[in-house]
Every structure is written in structure tokens, then in C-alpha cells.
Amino acid sequence: MEFVYVVPRTALFPDFYPHGLIRFQDAPAAEQSCVSRLAFEASIARDGFFVERSVAERTPAWKQVIPYTLVQCGERILLTRRTKQGGEARLHDKHSIGIGGHINPVDLEEGARAGDVRNPLPAGARREIDEELDVRGTYEIRSVGLIAVHVGVVHVLRVDGAVEVREREQLEGRLVTPAELRELAERGANLETWTKLLLPHLEGLLFTPMAVANR
């Protein structure tokens, strides 16, 4: 039995419900094209709880919070394809630029040990990365926005080193440029929905040399 982390929709989005990609900003959000990152994370910690996944799937008023991390090496991003040996059947043979999955109770425990007493999201994002990838070298991660339906919290992980998928019989991976990814989309590649939603926004989400220097 799997337990997943949910937050009431009205707690996360009291004023409007986002569609597509919504960028985070650190100050209070002044318009509906952005969401305050601090307010969002405060709601995750204050209002979230774990329920059986089957119950969460039947309750639209609860939004399942799912970390979804883009992996960037230099100017390229990691593109994966789920094989028929791994994951959910609906994802088989689909290409994705995100590494992620549901938040589980172990993430809340790990977050508490790291100082995030009530916010399991960072620990959940790190666990999914560690399970799926072998990251060699230093890296930094930042949250940049969210995607509606289930609440996919979009992160970007910048790696100064190398990255490879772990279980190669279940997952294939290679580094591509945003231009190469768009060419794949134009040729009709089988892209998962969240990847399609992020594709028009990639340049605004990825680390740039200037952004890295100022961190």
C-alpha cells in the first residue's frame, strides 16, 4: 500500500487555479502568471498530509504534490525514455526531461533530519534523483515553478560533472540541447505531457552562465 502526499487545492491556490507552467517568484505574487514560492512552500508544510494513493486518485479536491526535476549539464539537458520493463504502463516508450515521482512518508522523515521539519518536497526530489540517476561531481538544485493537474513542482538540477541513469533495463537517457529536443518534438517523438508543457519555456528555466555566477 502506497501513501502519497497531498494538499487541499483551496489551500494551495486560494485565489485562482493555475494552468500549464506557472513560474515561482520569491516576493508575494502580484499577478496570476506567477506564484509566490515562499507562500507555496509554507502551504506544503502547513496543510499537507499523507493518504493512500488510491484514495488520493479519487479525490480531486486534494492535489498530489510531485517533484519533477530537469537535469542540466552545461548547455544540455537529460532526456530519458521509460522502457517496457519499468514504471507505469502509461509511461512506456515516452520521452521525458523530468525525473520525479510521488512524495512518500520517508521523505518527511528525511526532511526533518535535514531541518525541513514539515516540508518533504526537497527530500522527495533528492530521493527520486538518487534512485534514477548516478550523478558524479557537484550539483545545485532550485525550484522554478509548478505544473497543474497533479501539482508538479519543477526543479532544475545543474550538474558540474557527469550524469547517467542507474537501471538501464528500465530507463534510457542521453543529453540533448533544447534545439535537439524541439527537433524531436517536431518529428513527432512520443513526449510525455509535462515535457510538452515545459518545452516552450526551457531557456527561461535553465541555469545560465550569468545566473550561476550571481548565486
What pTM did the predictor assign? 0.89
Mean pLDDT of 18-30: 78
Q: What is the CATH number of the domain that holds 184?
A: 3.90.79.10
Mean pLDDT of 106-125: 85
How high is the pLDDT of residue 86?
64
Count: domains in the chain: 1
Q: To the nearest whole percent, how much of the chain has pLDDT over 70?
A: 90
* Window from 61-75, 107-121, 179-193 with minimum mean pLDDT: 107-121
DSSP state of 104: -
Place 16 in a pLDDT band, splitting at 50, 70 and 90.
confident
Report phi then psi at 214, rounded to 5: -90, -5
Per-chain mean pLDDT for the chain = 89
Place 199 in a pLDDT band, splitting at 50, 70 and 90.
very high
Which amino acid, one-letter code, is at 37?
A: R
Q: To the nearest whole percent, how much of the chain has pLDDT over 90?
A: 71
Please check the confidence at residue 204 and state whether its pLDDT lies above 50: yes
Mean pLDDT of 76-100: 84
DSSP state of 67: E
Place 213 in a pLDDT band, splitting at 50, 70 and 90.
very low
Find the domain containing 154 and state its range: 3-213
Burial track 9-44 (b if 16+ CB lie within 10 A, e otherwise): beebbeeeebeebbbbeeeebeeeebbbbeebbebb
Please check the confidence at residue 211 and state whether its pLDDT lies above 50: no
Please check the confidence at residue 215 and state whether its pLDDT lies above 60: no
Which amino acid, one-letter code, is at 127?
A: R
Q: In this structure, are residues 21 and 198 in contact, taking their beta carbons and an 8 Å threshold?
A: yes
Strand 151-165, strand 62-73: pairing = parallel
Q: Assign 26 to helix, strand or coil.
A: coil
Q: In this structure, are residues 99 and 69 in contact, taking their beta carbons and an 8 Å threshold?
A: yes
Mean pLDDT of 111-129: 85
Place 149 in a pLDDT band, splitting at 50, 70 and 90.
confident
Please check the confidence at residue 92 and state whether its pLDDT lies above 90: no
3-state secondary structure labels for all residues of 139-180: EEEEEEEEECCCEEEEEEEEEEEEEEECCCCCEEEEEECHHH
Please check the confidence at residue 116 and state whether its pLDDT lies above 80: no
Residue 59 burial by CB count (10 A; 0-12/13-18/19+): exposed, middle or buried?
Answer: middle
pLDDT tens digits along 43-58? 999 999 999 999 999 9
24, 38, 151: which is closest to 100 by C-alpha? 151
